Copies of this chain bind each other. A is one copy, B any other.
Amino acid sequence: MTPPDEQLSISEVAERTGLSAHTLRYYERAGLMLAPIHRAASTHRAYSARDVTWITFLTRLRSTALPIAQVKEYADLARRGEDTTPERLELLQRHRIAVVAQLAEMQASLAAIDHKISLYAERTTA
Contact = CB atoms under 8 A, between A and B. Distances in A.
Given A106-B63, A110-B64, A113-B96, A88 B120 contact: yes
Interface residues of A, number: 32
Number of this chain's copies in the assembly equals 2
- Secondary structure at the A interface, as helix, strand, loop or mixed, is helix
A58 to B, nearest CB: 11
A57 B103 contact: no
Contacts of A9: none
A123 B57 contact: no
B116 A57 contact: yes
A41 interface: no
Interface of A: 57, 60-61, 63-64, 85-86, 88-89, 92-93, 95-96, 99-100, 102-103, 105-110, 112-114, 116-117, 120-121, 123-124
